[in-house]
Amino acid sequence: MRRCCRAGSSWLTTPRFITNATTHNFHPIFNLCFHRNNTSSPTASYSRRWYNPEQSRRCGPDTVRHWVEGDSLPPGPHQAERFTVVSYNILGDRNVSNHGDLYRNVAPTYLDWDHRRRVICEELLGLNPDIICLQEVDKYYDLLNILEKAGYLGSYKRRTGGSVDGCAMFWKAEKFLLLEGESIEFRQYGLRDNVAQLSVYEMREAQSRRLVVGNIHVLYNPSRGDVKLGQIRFLSSRAHILSEKWGHVPIVLAGDYNSTPQSPIYKFLTSSELNLMLHNRKELSGQRRCHPSQVLGLRREKGILFVPMDRFFNSRWSEEEMNVAIGAPKCHIAMHPLKLNSSYAMVKGSLTTRDNGGEPLATSYHSNFLGTVDYLWYSDGLAPTKVLDTLPINVLKETGGLPCKKFGSDHLSLVSEFVFLEVEGKNEATEDRAIS
How far is residue 123's CA from residue 309's CA, in Å, rounded to a whole number? 47
DSSP-derived 3-state class of residue 225:
helix
Residues 5-64 that bind ligand KL2 (CB under 6 A): none
DSSP-derived 3-state class of residue 195:
strand
Number of CB atoms found within 10 A of residue 239's CB: 27
Q: Is 427 left (phi over 0), alpha (psi -120 to 50) or beta?
A: beta
Is 263 a binding residue for ligand KL2 by CB under 6 A? The answer is no
Q: Which of 344, 347, 420 is nearest to 380 (CA)?
A: 420
Nearer to ligand KL2, 133 or 373 (CB): 373
Is 164 a binding residue for ligand KL2 by CB under 6 A? The answer is no
Distances (CA, A) of 226 to 64, 318, 321, 323, 368: 37, 10, 6, 8, 22
Number of CB atoms found within 10 A of residue 115's CB: 20
Segments in 246-350 forming alpha helices (H): 264-271, 292-295, 307-314, 319-326, 343-346
Which position among 2, 6, 78, 99 is part of the footprint of ligand KL2 (CB under 6 A)? Answer: 99
Beta carbon of residue 401, minimum distance to ligand KL2 (angstroms, whole number): 13
- Per-residue string for binding with ligand KL2, 341-370, x by CB under 6 A? -----------------------x---x--
Is 258 a binding residue for ligand KL2 by CB under 6 A? The answer is yes
Part of the chain binding ligand KL2 (CB under 6 A), chosen from 11-19, 95-103, 239-247, 342-350? 95-103
How far is residue 361's CA from residue 342's CA, in Å, rounded to a whole number? 14
Nearer to ligand KL2, 68 or 254 (CB): 254
Which position among 69, 93, 123, 256 is part of the footprint of ligand KL2 (CB under 6 A)? Answer: 256
Nearer to ligand KL2, 95 or 399 (CB): 95
Number of CB atoms found within 10 A of residue 394's CB: 10
Number of residues that bind ligand KL2 (CB under 6 A): 10
Residues 177-236 that bind ligand KL2 (CB under 6 A): 220
Nearer to ligand KL2, 285 or 379 (CB): 285
Beta carbon of residue 201, minimum distance to ligand KL2 (angstroms, whole number): 25
Nearer to ligand KL2, 194 or 236 (CB): 194
Rounded to an integer, what is the distance from CA 266 to the centroid of its chain? 14
Part of the chain binding ligand KL2 (CB under 6 A), chosen from 73-81, 94-102, 259-267, 308-316? 94-102
Residues in contact with ligand KL2 by CB under 6 A are 89, 95, 99, 102, 220, 256, 258, 364, 368, 373
